[in-house]
Amino acid sequence: MAGIEAMNSGPAIAVDERGGDMRFVVSGRWTAPHAAEVERLAAMLLEEARGGGSVRIDISEIGRLDTLGAWVLDRTRHELGDRGQRADFVGARPEHQTLLDEIAYRGFQEPSRAKNLHIVDFLVDVGRTVVEVGKDFVRGVSFLGEVVAALVVVLFNPRRFRFPALVHQLEHIAFRGVPIIALISFLVGAIVAQQGIFQLQRFGATPFVVDLVGILILRELAVLLTSIMIAGRSGSAFTAEIGSMKMREEVDALRVMGLDPVQVLIVPRVLALIIGLPLLTFLSMMSALLGGGLVAWVYGGISPEIFLARLQGAIVLSTFLVGLIKAPFMALVIGLIASLEGLAVQGSAESLGRQVTSSVVKSIFMVIVVDGLFAMFFAAIDY
Amino acid sequence: MDDTPQNSARTADEREREVVIRVRGLEVGFGEKTIMKGLDLDVYRGEILGFVGASGTGKSVLTRAILGLVPKRAGTIEVFGEDLDGLNPASRRAIERRWGVLFQHGALFSSLTVRQNVQVPMREYLDMSDRLLEELAMLKIEMVGLSPDAADKYPSDLSGGMIKRAALARALALDPEIVFLDEPTSGLDPIGAGDFDDLIATLQKTLGLTVFMVTHDLDSLHSVCDRIAALGEGRIIASGTIEDMLASDHPWVRAYFHGKRARAVMAE
């Protein structure tokens, strides 16, 4: 009866009503690619059989049956049963019977989705965030303690210090960061000088642009620019490196070998930052002054000789030192946050992404906060 | 795309003859190193093929070459009678829908729950109601022997055995005709491994699957595999039933199937 054509065509149902017994002849392919059609036919069968007596579902002409088809058929049979209509499969081939037995329809509990008032959710979120920020601070301080302790250990056992790791990190943080830091600083120096000249022109105070550029760059801009760049460039890399090591249990492997992950992974990185960031800050200062000087010359008509002479008058050693002193502290803040976020990575790729983002955002935020604190401090001691 | 009847009534002999994967003269290498040279392999419909070989001989590479994840230098690979090189992207996708892969380490998407992992291929390829989607995902999860409360866990919260099961559930999501299992029982305890073997055998019977299994587990080879192929020196050095393997003269095959561990398994 069932030709090859019927076996290979899409799913179909024919109704055969004789006497009190309703008979549905199911044919074709009841398989996943025909899911929509299978569902529609099953719903139609339920509708057709409504109000009738017992139902027989003839599945001898099914061309192909997979778990989806078997599930839907068995579900339909159960739903008929729930309405009080007796339903049976007839003519099942052995392999189809095995599949139907294996599938054996049962209801699954819908995953419960807790529904709260939005305002409650919002308040819970706010509270949780505040608590998290507090905990973050405590964790940061305790981690600082751990790093300092590890540094002290290294100080007294210089053989435990990983010099190659430090050099490797220095290359990545400082040396490879040179071009981008130099370029950005040069451009910012040039822009500040251009704006300075443009605004000061109106008061006939163009030569003061040298004071503006010199003090602004040396005290604030160079160190801020460098720290923000390094937070984005190296802080994110630390978090990702340490985080993926954490994900693959490499951090645990270090620990069970008796190696302190803080000493092995974090001390070289933080030290490299503390050495590298002041170097880069110095580079940034020089590059920004060059950019400012160039614009002052070309756009403001201040020749290099005059620029340098005025610069010498405008700045004192402390101007330069204020900028440079801040750099190692910025480095410490970036290193601590990046390492801490890296160690907080859980198992999933998503968590890695989240921690890297949060590492960069927190580092940049903290760099600016620390800069503000230093500004207050230097003002207080009149430096 | 799916014009090969899977469950249609066929005699065992007829099934024996239908080749679902045919590899001829396969050559794969990386850089200077040639890993496979002139490899021929047939996989028949409905069988469980166990694939053995010393570490580093390229069992995983062969699997990946068939799946198209590793480029080959020469040779042809036919799946369901179609040469994979000559396919346009649409027919290639149609073939990919008909196989499921269990990667060695599960390769579950770590940011999705088990249920969502299973639903990924279904959502992508099948047109069905949300209710059916939920039900089928739960069905697959239960079929592989996971408890329903594992469905909403993330892969990082699962044990090694549960990850393998969840990955198998995802491999079975589209009711594939062939499943590739890369060391499915490695890292499982012997009882768990035995359960997994039984599971594969049951699924193979009910769903009419063809199973391509890379394994080192002598118990699996002995209890569930219909046929075994041994890889060495860049080609298949022996293939056949466990008895054929025991009778083989090849030194590596002899060492493998007559070793101390093998004897313990065979003695059972």
pLDDT at B10: 43
Longest dimension (CA), chain A: 113
Mutate to test the interface with A, among B8, B14, B124 (most CBs of A within 10 A): B8
Q: Does the pLDDT of residue A30 top 70, yes or no? A: yes
Per the model's pLDDT, the better-predicted residue between B261 and B1 turns out to be B261
DSSP state of A264: I
CB contact under 8 A, B8 and A346: no
Q: Are strands B210-214 and B48-53 parallel, antiparallel or unpaired?
A: parallel
Residue B138, chain A, CB below 8 Å: the answer is yes
Residue B184, chain A, CB below 8 Å: the answer is no
Q: What domains appear along chain B, each with residue ranges and CATH number?
A: 47-74+96-266 (3.40.50.300)
pTM: 0.69
Average pLDDT of the segment spanning B92-103? 84
Residue B95, chain A, CB below 8 Å: the answer is no
H-run or E-run covering A115: none
Average pLDDT of the segment spanning A2-27? 68
Which chain B residues have a beta carbon less than 8 Å from that of A7? 5, 8
Average pLDDT of the segment spanning A223-242? 94
Average pLDDT of the segment spanning B216-235? 82
Q: Does the pLDDT of residue A174 top 70, yes or no? A: yes
Closest CA to B215 of B207, B225, B205, B206: B225
Give the start-to-end residue ranges of the domains of chain A.
Answer: 4-103, 159-380
Closest-CA residue of B relative to A39 is: B128
Structure tokens given for B216: 């080192």
B164-206 tens-digit pLDDT: 888 888 888 888 888 888 888 877 778 878 888 888 888 888 7
Least CB–CB distance from B139: residue in A8, A103, A111:
A103
CATH superfamily of A4-103: STAS domain (3.30.750.24)
Least CB–CB distance from B3: residue in A8, A36, A351:
A8
pLDDT at A290: 95
Range ranked top by mean pLDDT from A12-16, B116-120, B229-233: B116-120
A301-358 tens-digit pLDDT: 899 999 999 999 989 999 999 999 999 999 999 999 999 999 988 877 888 999 999 9
Given a contact cutoff of 8 angstroms between Cβ atoms, the answer to whether B19 and B70 are in contact is: no
Mutate to test the interface with B, among A1, A4, A64 (most CBs of B within 10 A): A64
pLDDT at A3: 44
A161-172 tens-digit pLDDT: 888 889 999 999
Which chain A residues have a beta carbon less than 8 Å from that of B138? 108
Given a contact cutoff of 8 angstroms between Cβ atoms, the answer to whether A182 and A287 are in contact is: yes
pLDDT above 70 covers what percent of chain A? 94
pLDDT at B268: 57
